[in-house]
Amino acid sequence: MLEKKNGAAIYLVDNSAMPQTLLIKNGRVIDPANSIDEKLCIGVENGRIAWLSKDVPAGFTAQKEIDAEGMWVTPGLADMHVHLREPGREDKETIETGTQAACAGGFTAVACMPNTNPALDEESKIRYVVQRAQDCTCRVFPIGSITKGLAGEELSPFGEMVRAGARAVSDDGKSVRKASIMKNALNYSKSFGIPVICHCEDSDLSHGGHMNEGAMSSLLGVWGQPSIAEEIIVSRDILLASYTGARIHIAHVSTEGSVRIVREAKSQGIAVTCETCPHYIALTDEDLSSYNTNMKMNPPLRTRQDRDALVRGLADGTIDVIASDHAPHVSEEKDVEFDAAAFGVIGLETSLPVVLTDLLDKGILSPSEIVRKMSVNPNRILGLGGGTLSSGVNADITITDPRVLWTVDSKYFFSKGRNTPFEGLKVKGCARYTILGGAVVFERKVMQ
């Protein structure tokens, strides 16, 4: 049991929690897959959803009762873009600490990227991750690499990786430079029914850039990477997907042009989905005026115009998923001059609050749409099996309180990383309970 106290709030992560018979009452149950959005009670038994109804069935006794008055009860949230750093950089994060951070953020499932050291480019590496994740407080689904060692030359063995548990392939961190290799990868992926997740970046155009190329980069005297570096590869990969008939998912969309290109591709029936991250919604390159390295990531924060386009893309369904791209770094790699700082910010413990503050509170997305973006769609795209509260499914449940006002303080994070762009931000809303297979693995108590 891990406990952190932040003033009157206590965060508890229980990695030895056992499945219990649970009664969750008075909560607003939001289950878009089953078209449910109403006040209901839920019973959990033997690690599965037993029933949903207005009244508690006679004879049902629970070991633990949760009063979810004023809160949302939804299928467990799934973050499909996370860097757990293990194997290789356990100093930045381990599967254990990363999953603790995930459940503290309300997630019951994460998909982890293969750019570890060694890379997850074959069966044994995938099995390693699956095994290390076994008793953790969040489900971990590995993503295998597209190419061996992420070198962009030879395809990884998709078949054996999928057999070992991989749900997708990606060379995230970079693009597959050669279009011919990407074409082969897309074709080959069709045999396994998995999506190819594309990190879209023309490294020749983006080379040397530490932030978005624009007025701000000129003002700050920092070399920038242009938005077209992303858009050119988004176009390329969508055209390749269309040509091959494969299914792709565009990672961390950050520009207006990318949104437009995806929207157009979807209207033509091309099998493309995409995600954006909370930091691209909440921040812009104007927030970099103090050279804060905790706001340096790749792709970089873009302009207001890009941000507004992302918001529209979320509202009209062009963008299917909100994922964190959780990328922890040690302080030695961040507490340096801007140009030398590593790219990447953490996000598991701030995704939900930032989404609630910037999208729900501003009336851009409804609660139901938020659940789609953060649970239903990621589950569907990767075939994770979750995303619903149908009776009989695993009791992976997130209980969110959208009313809580608090301030982000990285001192209390469960992640090893402290590189958050939201330090000190006042937010509204947080996860109150995270239930994994019927076990309460995370709880946020408030002392009276």
Partner 1 sequence: MALSINHLLGLKGVPEKDITLILDTADNFYEVLQREIKQVPTLKGITIVNLFYENSTRTRISFELAEKRLSASTLNFSATNSSVTKGESLRDTMRNIEAMKIDMVVVRHSAAGVPAFLTRCTNATIINAGDGLHEHPTQALLDMMTIRQKFGRLKGLKVAIIGDILHSRVARSNAWGMTVMGMKVVLCGPPTLLPQKPECLGVEVTDNIDKALDGADIIMMLRLQLERQQSGLFPSIREYRERYGLDLEKLSRLPKDIIVMHPGPINRGIELASNVADGDRSVILDQVTNGVAVRMAVLYLLGGGDNA
d(CA 326, CA 219): 29
Rounded (5°) CA angle 56-62-67: 70
CB of 339 to partner 1, least distance (A): 4
Bridge partner list, 431: 400
Take residue 78 and report the two structure tokens written for it.
């799934």
Bridge partner list, 428: 405
Q: Which helix (DSSP H) or strand (DSSP E) does residue 152 occupy?
A: none
CB of 420 to partner 1, least distance (A): 18
Q: Is 390 exposed, middle or buried (0-12, 13-18, 19+ CB in 10 A)?
A: middle
Take residue 286 and report the two structure tokens written for it.
């104007």
Q: Is 333 exposed, middle or buried (0-12, 13-18, 19+ CB in 10 A)?
A: middle
Cis peptide leading into residue 328 (ω within 30°): no
> 60 or 223: whose CB is closer to partner 1?
223
Bridge partner list, 198: 250
Take residue 345 and report the two structure tokens written for it.
């910010």
CB of 125 to partner 1, least distance (A): 26
Contacts to partner 1 by CB under 8 A: 213-216, 218-224, 226, 290-291, 332-333, 335-340
Whether the CB-CB separation of 75 and 375 falls below 8 Å is answered with: yes
Among 106, 165, 188, which residue's Cα sits nearest to residue 402? Answer: 106
Q: What are phi and psi of 10, to 5 degrees?
A: -120, 130
CB of 331 to partner 1, least distance (A): 10
d(CA 352, CA 373): 11
How many Cβ atoms are within 10 Å of 40's Cβ, its own excluded? Answer: 22
204 is catalytic: no
Among 435, 278, 275, which residue's Cα sits nearest to residue 349? Answer: 278
> 198 or 283: whose CB is closer to partner 1?
283
- Residue 231: half-sphere exposure toward Cβ, Cα within 13 Å: 14
| SS3 call for 3 | strand
Query: Which residue among 14, 121, 325, 358 is the active-site one?
Result: 325
Q: Which helix (DSSP H) or strand (DSSP E) does residue 72 occupy?
A: strand 72-75
d(CA 392, CA 418): 38
> 27 or 224: whose CB is closer to partner 1?
224
- Residue 365: half-sphere exposure toward Cβ, Cα within 13 Å: 29
Which residues carry out catalysis?
325
